[in-house]
């Protein structure tokens, strides 16, 4: 579970980094809110899994 939490945090950080670097979709210029949401969800899942692993929650 520790590995899953770390991977989820890294994946969420990479998704958010991509969204900050390229915030607009290429076709219509709209902000890609699904990318921000998925990055934040991955980070929350990673934090929850790590807290559960270390019995903090």
What pLDDT, on a 0 to 100 scale, did the predictor assign at position 46? 94
User: What are the structural domain ranges in the chain?
Assistant: 1-56
Structural tokens at position 34? 């699904």
Q: How far apart are the first and last CA of the chain?
A: 15
CA distances to 4, 24, 28, 33, 52 from 8, rounded to whole Å, are 6, 24, 30, 19, 14
Neighbours of 12 (CB within 10 A): 20
What pLDDT, on a 0 to 100 scale, did the predictor assign at position 27? 65
Per residue in 1-57, pLDDT (tens digit) is 889 999 999 999 998 898 888 777 666 666 778 888 999 999 999 999 999 888 876
What pLDDT, on a 0 to 100 scale, did the predictor assign at position 22? 77
What pLDDT, on a 0 to 100 scale, did the predictor assign at position 29? 64
CA 41 to chain centre: 5
Cα distance between residue 22 and residue 5, in whole Å: 26
The whole model's pTM is what?
0.79
């Amino acid at each position: 579970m520790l590995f899953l939490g770390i991977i989820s945090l890294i994946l969420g950080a990479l998704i958010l980094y991509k969204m900050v670097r390229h915030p607009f979709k290429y076709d219509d210029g709209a902000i890609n809110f699904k990318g921000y949401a998925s990055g934040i969800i991955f980070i929350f899942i990673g934090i929850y899994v790590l807290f559960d692993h270390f019995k903090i929650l």
